[in-house]
Amino acid sequence: MSDDVVVSLPGNGERFERGERVITIRVDLPGLSALEIEFDETFDVSPHEHDDHVDAFYVLEGEVEFTAGDETVRVGPGTIVAAPPGARHGFRGVNGRARVLNLHAPDAGFNDWIRSL
């Protein structure tokens, strides 16, 4: 396998337990970070914007409520939400545990920020 290719098998990654959430860094590349985030209904990321990267989410399990601009949408597994630079977005858990794959392109220092918490 090439040293440039990242293969992250199930259960791999750097795991960080943070109260109501567990964050696992699955991919750490300058152009892309991929994090698996598990959380409960008390977890809430207030609406915000990024000016330097796309922030995208793929819902793996459970229900998640996303702020998308001025709207709020409640979605389930199989849904993708992608916020380009400058787009207002946020999310929170509803009705028990949820799990999302969170992608940042480029990474823009997000993985280092997670490690520093």
Within-domain flag for 15: no
78-115 CB burial, b ≥16 within 10 A, e <16:
ebebebeeeeebbbbbeeebbbbbbbbbebbebbeebe
Helices and strands counted in the chain (H then E): 1, 8
The DSSP secondary-structure symbol of 9 reads: -
Q: What is the mean pLDDT of the chain?
A: 95
* Bridge partners, 57 (sequence order): 81, 102
Within-domain flag for 100: yes
Range of 88's domain? 23-116
Within-domain flag for 38: yes
| CA separation for the pair 112, 17 (Å, rounded) | 15
Q: What would the pLDDT profile of 56-114 be if each residue is shown by its tens digit?
A: 999 999 999 999 999 999 999 999 999 999 999 999 999 999 999 999 999 999 999 99
Number of domains in the chain: 1
Domain harbouring 32, CATH code: 2.60.120.10
Q: Taking the alpha carbons of 42, 43, 49, 54 in that order, is the dihedral positive or negative? A: negative
